[in-house]
Amino acid sequence: MRKMTKKNKIAAVAASAALVAVGGGAAYAYWSTTGGGNGSAAASQGTSPITINVTVAPGVAPGTPKGITYTATNPNSSSTPVTLAKPVVTTSSDACLPAWFSATAPTGTTTVLGNADGTALGTGTLTLNDDPAVNQDACKNATITVTVASN
């Protein structure tokens, strides 16, 4: 084996010191690191409206109540409670007065599941109130519409 000269010893010590310094610096950087940041997400724009379907039995005539079936379609992924408001009657004829009619809707609240189609909300009636003192012929062949909203 060859003898180390003073010059080689100094070079070896310097190289060792440099390796320790680099290694120590890496450890210092690892333990001393800091950081920051942020993130964001868009909030939902809310839910789409529930569609309430109103189906009235045909053949509306004075004094003969006809059944109304109420169902709901929920296009949202979450369930929604539905409570029906008082139904409103309109007609296609100005001479066929909506005041001659009465309509009912089920009471109470029904939970309509997310993405449900045709959930039963209950039934009611539509009646053309028979008034013998008034000629109600204007309602013949008229289209009677029942509209209901949810609370």
Distance of CA 88 to the CA centre of its chain: 25
Q: What is the pLDDT of residues 79-138, one digit of tens each?
A: 999 999 999 999 999 999 999 999 999 999 999 999 999 999 999 999 999 999 999 999
* pLDDT at residue 80, as a whole number: 93
Mean pLDDT for 30-52 is 72
67, 125 in Cβ contact below 8 A?
A: yes
pLDDT of residue 151: 81
pLDDT of residue 25: 53
Say if CB 142 and CB 92 are below 8 A apart.
yes
Q: Average pLDDT, whole number, for the chain? A: 84
CA–CA distance, 132 with 129 (Å, rounded to integer): 10
Q: Place 47 in a pLDDT band, splitting at 50, 70 and 90.
A: confident
